[in-house]
A = this chain, B = another copy of it.
Amino acid sequence: MKLIKSVGSMRLWSNQTRARGKTIAFVPTMGFLHEGHLSLVRRARREASAVVMSIFVNPLQFGPREDFVAYPRDIQRDSALAGAEGCDVLFFPAKKQMYPEGFLTRVGVERMDGVLCGAFRPGHFVGVCTVVLKLANIVRPHVLLVGQKDAQQAVILGRMLRDLNTEVRLIVCPTVRERDGLAMSSRNSYLSPKERERALAISRSLFLARKLVLCGERKAARILGQMKSALSRGGISDIDYVAILDAKELVPVKTVRGEVLIAVAARVGTTRLIDNIKLRI
């Protein structure tokens, strides 16, 4: 696996790879890889002839009181994991490569970037859109892969890539979970053993919601009520949101119909966790 650190070298590699008639699949990450990221790489290998993963902890998507500095980093381990999964290139740019002095441009998706996590993390999705568009312009992939775990991010990026007439195809891969149901996340590393136990209430509340819908419940208010009770019973009280939304438009629904997203964001100790499930009725 090739390690590339400069924007110029990355662009050169992509142009040469395309010129040889190869297709490129791209997995953007913030590193500290887990099975979720690696599942994206495996899917990427099936979608294109070459796979690029980027690792860049993007300062633009962190708020001033968020965990940019604390965010876990381990490039040696990540590099070994990405290589073992068959990544062709690991793109690992420094901050100055991505945001040289004088950088001022911002990309956002109106309305969608102000709801759910966007309401609690102002500027977060503008940071995500801006960096992903930059990365896509540097790597020039045919396919870009992200995880369903970050459901709002996936919808927003899909909207942005389409709205801006990029030729990049977005593939959203299923959330990968621990055996007990906890959605994999680099931020799980922040949890103490007791918090790790409490965190399970989040996925449990989602599985409960799925069960209720499968048993015929269609009223969002009732499902949300039961989810909140389940979270509370599990010791989770610091909830940012529990929501049932139209999966494409990210607008809350009163009745479960069509494709819906059921999403939770809550704090376990000081760690903010998110999780979701998508259902089609």
Bound-state CA distance A130–B109 (Å) is 11
Bound-state CA distance A249–B112 (Å) is 31
By the criterion CB–CB under 8 Å, are B165 and A134 in contact? yes
By the criterion CB–CB under 8 Å, are B165 and A137 in contact? yes
Bound-state CA distance A108–B167 (Å) is 21
Partner of A110, one of B11, B106, B134, B160: B106
Bound-state CA distance A91–B110 (Å) is 27
Chain B residues contacting A130 (CB-CB under 8 Å) are 164
| Chain A: interface residue total (CB-CB under 8 A) | 27
Partner of A105, one of B11, B108, B167: B108
Chain B residues contacting A129 (CB-CB under 8 Å) are 105
A215 located at the interface, meaning its Cβ lies under 8 Å from any Cβ of chain B in the complex: no
Partner of A160, one of B102, B105, B166: B105
A80 located at the interface, meaning its Cβ lies under 8 Å from any Cβ of chain B in the complex: no
Min CB–CB distance A16 → chain B (angstroms): 14
Which residues of A from 156 to 206 have beta carbons under 8 Å from B?
Answer: 159-160, 163-167
A133 located at the interface, meaning its Cβ lies under 8 Å from any Cβ of chain B in the complex: yes
Contact of A107 with B110 at beta-carbon distance under 8 Å, contacts A7-B165, A134-B165, A167-B11 already known: no
Partner of A164, one of B102, B133, B165: B133
Bound-state CA distance A112–B106 (Å) is 12
By the criterion CB–CB under 8 Å, are B107 and A107 in contact? yes
By the criterion CB–CB under 8 Å, are A159 and B11 in contact? no
Which residues of A from 213 to 243 have beta carbons under 8 Å from B?
Answer: none
Bound-state CA distance A166–B166 (Å) is 11
Bound-state CA distance A163–B102 (Å) is 9
Residue contacts A-B, CB under 8 angstroms, 5 given = A102-B249, A104-B159, A105-B164, A106-B109, A134-B164
